[in-house]
Amino acid sequence: MEPTNSASSTHRAATTWHWPVRDYSLDHTLGCGQAFRWTRVSDAWEGVVGTRWVRLREGDGAIVAETAEAQQDWDWLNEALQLRVDLQAILATFPDDPALAEAVAACGGLRVLRQEPWECLASFMLSATKQIVQIRQIVATLCERFGDAVAVPAGHPPAYAFPRPGQLAELTEAQLRECKAGFRAPRLLAAARAVAEGRLDLDTLGQLPLDDTRARLMALDGVGRKIADCVLLFAGGFDQVFPIDVWVLRALHELYFPRRRPRPSVLRHFSETHFGPYGGHAQQYLFHYLRMRTRGNRSRTMIPAA
DNA sequence: ACCCAGGATGGAA
DNA sequence: TTCCATCATGGG
């Protein structure tokens, strides 16, 4: 432990932080379904990053953060929100096609977060055949029952950290099923034990070759290509990885292969080559755009042909 | 009652 | 390879 009272800094610990940034939409970034622990509370977003409760607002050309306890530094939040990323530079790498352009126009300021690997893996293991609102509920229950309480402002409802692998590893399958995890319960339990016992190392996620890392994730029971790719993109920083779920599958089919029946291998190859080095970001734009449209129209109508 | 949800899996075609 | 039923559970 290093002392926190050394007079080495020019700034004091504080509970508020101000970071100038352009093109950052909290609504699109925190509400698009890439993470499950953020909640909109009036004009702000509240969540827990690691063991810290935080409230975020869009200020005047900046993101303004507020914590319950004074922070010596804010690198943890800067990293989690990817505030140093130049969004325009990413958008410049996108292919010039009308469907993606429309999605980008509709989801301005959508960013890809950097999540904690274990929380990301566990959350997406719970996502299989669930609606996002239900995934959020399962994760919230898991945190309330088995996660450590974290400091919150006076009078604020309690908040909890995501349970560590070791905390979940000691549970029973029945306890996880009581959180509505269903058939995912035994798989999550096995994954927690693998991480807790050191058989799966998530600390080096992003530091090893993509294919090796993907294979290690998919070796887990309950982790297939899609969930592995979500972890690689959202926690591993593999920006080019393009997770294909039912929504994106429809989008690819309708937008890029209309009235055809491309083989899955063709669609996958297309998704890996068409969208460039930040394909995962493009995927998130398509995903969120399609869901916003569908939800808003209360129908399953696809995007009309251009 | 019926269908679907940010899927994965084992077995059949 | 590709297709299919099955796995829990809640909401439309």
Q: Domains in chain A: how many in total? A: 3
Q: What are phi and psi of A70, to 5 degrees?
A: -65, 140
- SS3 category, A72: coil
Residue A241 domain flag: no
Cβ within 7 A of any strand B atom: A 32-34, 127-135, 183, 218, 220-228, 230, 243, 245-248, 283-284, 287, 291
**Residue A226: active-site member:** yes
Residue A198 has which token pair?
């050191």
pLDDT of residue A256: 93
Instruction: List Cβ neighbours of A289 (8 Å cut-off, separation of 6 or more).
Output: A102, A103, A106, A107
pLDDT tens digits, residue range A81-134?
Answer: 999 999 999 999 999 999 999 999 999 999 999 999 999 999 999 999 999 999
Name the nucleotide with the smallest C1'–CA separation from A180.
C9
pLDDT tens digits, residue range A38-73?
Answer: 999 999 999 999 999 999 999 989 999 999 999 999
Q: What is the 3-state secondary structure (H, E, C) of A149-213?
A: EECCCCCCCCEECCCCHHHHHCCCHHHHHCCCCHHHHHHHHHHHHHHHCCCCCCCCCCCCCHHHH
Residues A127 and A86 in one domain: no
- SS3 category, A31: helix
Residues A228 and A251 in one domain: no
Domain boundary among A106, A132, A163: A106
Candidates A136, A232, A215, A222; CA nearest to A180 is A136
Residue A123 domain flag: yes
pLDDT of residue A261: 86
pLDDT of residue A259: 86
| Catalytic option among A226, A250, A253, A268 | A226
Residues A95 and A122 in one domain: no
CA A128 to each of CA A132, A187, A196, A229, A245: distance values in angstroms, whole numbers, following the listed order:
10, 11, 23, 13, 10
The distance (Å) linking the CA of A131 with the C1' of C9 is 10
Residues A252 and A144 in one domain: no
pLDDT tens digits, residue range A146-171?
Answer: 999 999 999 999 999 999 999 999 99
pLDDT of residue A295: 72
Residues A217 and A146 in one domain: yes
In terms of residue numbers, what domain contains A152? Answer: 117-234
Which CATH number do you get for residue A257?
1.10.1670
The share of chain A scoring above pLDDT 90, in percent, equals 89
Query: Does A218 score more than 60 pLDDT?
Result: yes
The share of chain A scoring above pLDDT 70, in percent, equals 93
Confidence of residue A297 (pLDDT cuts 50, 70, 90): low
Residues A155 and A226 in one domain: yes
**Higher local confidence (pLDDT), A173 or A260:** A173
